[in-house]
Amino acid sequence: MSSLSYQERSLYGELLADLAVFVPYFVLIHTGHPSVAFIAGSITILIVAQIVLQSIIAIATRNRLKDERDRLIALRGYRAGYFTVVSLMLVGMGLLWMHSMHDQLNAGHMGLHFLSVFFAVLMLAEVVKTVAQLIAYRRPL
């Protein structure tokens, strides 16, 4: 761990928090219908986990410098995340439309289904962005 820069440690913390929230969310969402409270709870836990982990990493790391390579890698990560958002949003919207066409969705809960898809897409894009950045740190640029 000592060979990792602050940015890398921060990314591992980010990934850990994302997976700790997203994996249970993904499993539980398939066992029952999504609710606003469940999605809001997941978002709250994610924010708290990120704050706690990032604070610990910041306290434990003396040199928190960010240089040009870190900024370049961050841009690459955001590009990967953006393409994930766009691709998955199209797939998600398409699936919602298909299910609604076959009367498999309760029209009264359409907003909730949109929220659920939107949250899942954002979480997956966040994981892709973080993993892309971590890979970039280990490969030639």
Residues at the interface with another protein (CB under 8 A) = 3-8, 63, 65-70, 137, 139-141
Between CA 36 and CA 21 the distance in angstroms is 16
CA distance 64 to 19: 24
**Distance of closest approach, residue 31 Cβ to another protein, in angstroms:** 43
For 8, the enclosing helix (H) or strand (E) is helix 6-29
**DSSP code, position 108:** G
Nearest CB to another protein, comparing residues 2 and 31: 2
Strand, helix or coil at 131? helix
Determine how many CB atoms are found less than 10 A away from the CB of residue 6.
17
Alpha-carbon distance values, 35 to 19, 52, 69 (Å): 20, 26, 42
Q: Kindly tell me which of 31 and 63 has the beta carbon lying closer to another protein.
A: 63
SS3 at position 71: helix
- Shortest distance, position 76 Cβ to another protein, whole Å: 12
CB of 117 to another protein, least distance (A): 38
Nearest distance, CB of residue 67 and another protein, angstroms: 5
Nearer to another protein, 35 or 61 (CB): 61
In the complex, the smallest distance separating the C-beta of residue 57 from another protein, rounded to whole angstroms, is 15
Q: In this complex, which beta carbon is closest to another protein, that of residue 27 or of residue 65?
A: 65
**74 vs 112, beta carbon nearer another protein:** 74
